[in-house]
Amino acid sequence: MRTTILDIQKMKRRGERIPMITAYDYTSAQIVDQAGIPLILVGDSLGMVVLGHSSTVPVTLDEMIHHMRAVVRGSQQALVIGDLPFLTYTSIDKALHSAGRLLQEAGVQAVKVEGGAAVAPIVRRLVEVGIPVMAHLGFTPQSVNQIGMRVQGRRAADARQIIEDAMALEAAGAFALVLELVPIQLAEAITKRLRIPTIGIGAGAGCDGQVQVWHDLLGLYTDFVPRHTRRYANLAETISAALQSYASDVRSGAFPTEEHGSKMDGEALAEALKPFATE
């Protein structure tokens, strides 16, 4: 049985902290499930960490659906949440169409949207028709061209706006709220004021849960560690060392050996080679 949004909300009430991680394909979804992480986000961060764009802005709904399908196939326990990409929820009708595709074609159980009170009517309508919505405030990557990539809400007026937005999103029916790159004290204050769980990234330990990007957490970059990340592995190094050993074994003839292949009957081989006899 998959985790549900009600399970997630219960976790907040019980004071259980909620781990969440992004995943973008079948294999990683299987690993997340086996690790017992209850929430998978197929984030539009895939535009950057999987597709190599410099922001999430170019990501399309079709690309998201392609990856979400694989994640849903790879997981059985986790609640899978799919990001609605840039410009796919600019009106209620558009949001219904886009979110509907994520649930019906990709099979995710919930969607995530970025933005404050302005998206609350969209959240409300999605929830009314039965689509669970996770909200996302603070640094919202789809607006990077407008707000830059930096901590949001340091000044009193901005912090107040984020609190008001959080309350509007909860009132609209969002089942949880991602807080990205907001000051630790602000995230704590919001978490105390909301009944729904907050999931932080670069927002401190006062949130009800934490989300991290797969590639950041597992050290899949060779050159870059975002400040909000702790590397729990250095897979780029591990993979690179494995690839170098593989290439070296191929070059030296140490791989493959007989155990990596299968043999045929000698007579069948001789028969097969008859028409191609060289002398």
Can residue 39 be called a binding residue for ligand KIV (CB under 6 A)? no
Tokens standing for residue 39: 């929430």
Q: Give how far the C-alpha of residue 35 lies from the chain's centroid of Cα atoms, to the nearest Å.
A: 15
Residue list 89-128, contact with ligand KIV (CB under 6 A): none
The binder of ligand KIV chosen from 84, 213, 218, 220 (CB under 6 A): 213
In the bound state with ligand KIV, the residue whose beta carbon lies nearer, of 111 and 131, is 111
Give the whole-angstrom CA distance, residue 120 versus residue 167.
Answer: 10
Told to check if 22 binds ligand KIV by CB under 6 A, we report yes
Q: Is 83 helix (H, G, I), strand (E, B) or coil?
A: strand
25 binds ligand KIV (CB under 6 A): no
Nearer to ligand KIV, 183 or 200 (CB): 200
Q: Please answer whether residues 113 and 135 qualify as being in contact, where contact means their C-beta atoms are separated by less than 8 angstroms.
A: yes
Beta carbons within 10 angstroms of residue 163's beta carbon: 17
**Candidate segments 39-47, 150-158, 189-197, 223-231, binder of ligand KIV by CB under 6 A:** 39-47
Residues in the interface with ligand KIV (CB under 6 A) total: 11
Active-site residues, by number, are 180
Instruction: Give the whole-angstrom CA distance, residue 125 versus residue 160.
Output: 25
Coil, strand or helix at 137? strand
CB 74 within 8 A of CB 37: no
Task: Check binding of 201 to ligand KIV (CB under 6 A).
Answer: yes
Q: Which lies closer to ligand KIV via its Cβ, residue 134 or residue 172?
A: 134
* Interface residue list for ligand KIV (CB under 6 A): 22, 41, 43-45, 83, 178, 180, 201, 211, 213
